[in-house]
Each structure stands twice: as C-alpha cells, then as structure tokens.
Amino acid sequence: MDEFRKQLQVRLDTREQEGLLRTLKYTSARVDFTSNDYLGLARSQSLFDQIHHALDSFTTKSNGATGSRLLAGNTEYYESVEAKLADIFKVEASLILNSGYAANLAVLSSLPQRNDTILYDELAHACIKDGARLSLAKRFSFRHNDLEDLEAKLKRAEGTIYIAVESVYSMDGDQCPLQALVTLAEKYNAFIILDEAHSTGVYGERGSGLAVSENLHNRIAVRVYTFGKAMGIHGACIAGSKELRNYLINFARPFIYTTALPLHSVVAIECAFNYLQENIYLQQQLQKNIHAYRHAVQYLPNKTVSHSSIQTAIFPGNDHSKKVATELQQKGFDVRPILSPTVPKGSERLRICLHTFNTQPEIEALTGALKSLHALAH
Ligand SMILES: Cc1ncc(COP(=O)(O)O)c(C=O)c1O
C-alpha cells in the first residue's frame, strides 16, 4: 500500500512542478464570471420552487431510479419528458443520458464501426475525444473550424464518415460554421454529430439550440443537448431519428450499464424547459450583457472574438494567466485561468462567462480591471 501511495505521489509531484496540479475549490462569494449558469436558472428560486412543487405532485414517491433504464429504471414519465424534448429539438425521438459526458461517449463509442472514420474538430471537448477513443473506427482531428483541412481529410476517409463538432466551443466560445459544414458533409455523405452543450437554452425558440435556430436540424444526424449549463440543472439527451434512439438503447454502453437518473432530475429537466419557455426574455437579457462586454473590450487586443456567453482574454503562459486570475479574484471577480495543456501552449487565458444576472456595473468593473491588467503586462 505504501508503494502504491508513493507511485501516485510521484505523479502528483510532477504535475505540481509543472504548475498543473488540480485541486478542488469551493465556489466563492465573488461575482460569478465563471459558471456555466448562463441564464441564471441554477440559482433561480422560482425554478427551485417549481421543481419541488412538481415533485410533490407525484403520488408514488421515488428517491432513486433503482436500476438502469433497461431494468427497473424506466417510467412512462421518463418517456413523456423525452417526447417533450424531441418536440423542442424538432426531432423524431430523444434519449436522456445521465450527463453530457455520458451522451458523447454513448454516441461516439457505439455508432462508428471498425472500418469507419471519425473526424473531429481539434478543439472538441474531452468527452468527444474519449468517445472516439472507445470506438474501433479510425479517428483524425482537423484544424479548428477549418473546412479546407476537414475536406482534405474527408477525401481520404473510409467507410461511414462521422464529423464531430460543437455548436459553441467551450474554451473559445466561438461557433462552428454550421451551414457550410452541413453542405460539406452532404457532399461527402458524412454524418454530423453536433454537441450543443453551450447553445442549449441560449439560442432558439424554447432553448432549442443552434441547429434548430439556423433551420439546419433536419440535415444533422445526431445532436447532443446538455442540461447542466444554461438549463441550470443536470443530464443530457441525444436527439435524432427513432432508429437512432433504438440503436442507442441496444448498443450504447454508457446508456445500458448505468443507473438511470432519479425522478428528481427528470422533473427538473421538464420544469427547466417550461420555465425557460415562460421566461424567454432571459435569452435577450444574456445577449444584452454579451453585447455590453464586447463593446467594453473592443480595443483589447488579447481577446478572442465570440458572440456567445463564453469570452476569453489571453495572457500567455500558465504562470501569467494564474497571476492575472488571482489579481482579479482579489478584486472580487470569480474568474478562472485555463492553462495548457487544456488549451494549446501560448493561448493560456482567462475564460470569462457572462450571465443574465451580471449587472452593468459588474461588467464595467471587470472590463476596466482587464484593461489595466493588459496595460501593465504590455
Ligand atoms: C462541449 C461540451 N460537451 C459536453 C460536456 C459535458 O457535459 P456534462 O457536464 O453534462 O457532462 C461539456 C462540459 O463541460 C462541454 O463543454
């Protein structure tokens, strides 16, 4: 046992020496510019009350699902929520998974077969890459949002081709060029897997995301929506055809071999989408704050351009980014550094998330502090 501990500690020490040791922190009382609670639903007292009220209305009390969906964990209610999600996402069928991570693993590990090819954006989330690793298909990344590079790889791809992209990228906040991507995919008979993690709730009628709002949904084979970000709750769903749903129920191990989400989570999913539908102005409120932030930092050279709630300020080098983040934290802003290797070396940054509940004075104070930190650094 001592030997085991020692081995682990050696690897932890190496991480620490590289300045990359991860530790768990408590959320702070600072102004939130870091969470994915873009629409403020996670902190909404009225959504909280609606979820508890809805839960109370169930006559059969249930604390846990007691098994996987294929065993004791399925209910008519579960399927009614899936039907509702399918309606929101304008698709034939949806299947709830326990998280976005599990949903991407489910899709990428089960659909592509041995002689197929997965092409994924180099900045795709870890769960897309992990899912592709679990598959027996060949896998290649293409340069971020670079359709020329993608086309070069499409020309050489074998078997059924899957292209895995995100509608909004989690580290840069930029969008994928969906329209052009769909056209390119169709030219090569490739199927798109679109992760809508950071667009669910934020865009589209009833929070239906980017593909629906751009009217491209019928041309995308598989869509993944997650509920732990703008929807403020937990879980995810995979949306597509009835055949896709049946296929996943049969072949997707992250769906088959896990205890289903408890009733509470499924009720929360239904209530969160109802709540957003009744408070759709939240989407405009968020856009207003994004616009105010973008306007305030327009002359800052070290930012990446994004129209989403995710903004970045690049301070190259892990130490530099950490130092700047600490200074902002001391000023009362909850802003976290994103270090390499999570992002490429030289593009270490602050990831700044904007929310409906960030006030104009808070946004002005943060952008003012960013400007002076940038001036000091250059
Ligand atoms: C693009 C993307 N996909 C999937 C996930 C995973 O979703 P979840 O947190 O629901 O597991 C994340 C979370 O960070 C993400 O950013």
Grade residue 361 by pLDDT with cuts at 50, 70 and 90: very high
CA of 168 to the centre of ligand 1 (A): 11
Please tell me if the CB atom of residue 229 comes closer than 6 angstroms to any atom of ligand 1: no
Asked if the model's pLDDT at residue 259 lies above 70, the reply is yes
Point out which residues pair with 161 in neighbouring strands.
117
| Pairing mode of beta strands 333-334, 31-32 | parallel
Grade residue 298 by pLDDT with cuts at 50, 70 and 90: confident
Cα–Cα distance for residue pair 114/240, rounded to 1 Å: 23
CA of 235 to the centre of ligand 1 (A): 10
CA of 100 to the centre of ligand 1 (A): 5
- Mean residue pLDDT across the chain: 95
Please tell me if the CB atom of residue 367 comes closer than 6 angstroms to any atom of ligand 1: no
Region 295-308: what's the mean pLDDT? 82
Please tell me if the CB atom of residue 99 comes closer than 6 angstroms to any atom of ligand 1: yes
Which pLDDT score is estimated for 138? 98
Q: Closest residue (by CA) to atom 16 of ligand 1?
A: 170
Q: Which of 183-197, 261-275, 309-323 has the lowest mean pLDDT?
A: 309-323
Cα–Cα distance for residue pair 52/41, rounded to 1 Å: 14
Q: Which atom of ligand 1 is nearest to the CA of 101?
A: 11
Asked if the model's pLDDT at residue 301 lies above 80, the reply is no
Helices (H) and strands (E) in the chain, counts: 14, 13
Domains in the chain (CATH in brackets) are 20-42+281-377 (3.90.1150.10), 58-278 (3.40.640.10)
CA of 14 to the centre of ligand 1 (A): 27
Residue that is written with structure tokens 């704050």 in the block? 289
Region 363-368: what's the mean pLDDT? 94
Asked if the model's pLDDT at residue 356 lies above 90, the reply is yes
Q: Are 293 and 367 in contact (CB under 8 A)?
A: yes
Region 306-315: what's the mean pLDDT? 92
- Closest to 51 measured CA to CA, from 42, 59, 39: 42
Grade residue 376 by pLDDT with cuts at 50, 70 and 90: low
Q: Which atom of ligand 1 is nearest to the CA of 234?
A: 10
- Bigger pLDDT: 124 or 19? 124
Please tell me if the CB atom of residue 100 comes closer than 6 angstroms to any atom of ligand 1: yes
Q: Which atom of ligand 1 is nearest to the CA of 104?
A: 4
Asked if the model's pLDDT at residue 377 lies above 70, the reply is no
Asked if the model's pLDDT at residue 299 lies above 90, the reply is no
Question: Percent of the chain beyond pLDDT 70?
Answer: 98
* pLDDT 10s digits, 79-112: 999 999 999 999 999 999 999 999 999 999 999 9
Q: Which of 157-161, 217-221, 310-314, 353-357 has the lowest mean pLDDT?
A: 310-314
Please tell me if the CB atom of residue 101 comes closer than 6 angstroms to any atom of ligand 1: yes
Helices marked H in the chain — which ranges? 2-17, 45-56, 76-88, 100-110, 126-134, 147-156, 178-187, 209-213, 242-251, 253-256, 263-278, 281-296, 318-330, 360-377
Grade residue 305 by pLDDT with cuts at 50, 70 and 90: low
Q: Are 98 and 261 in contact (CB under 8 A)?
A: yes
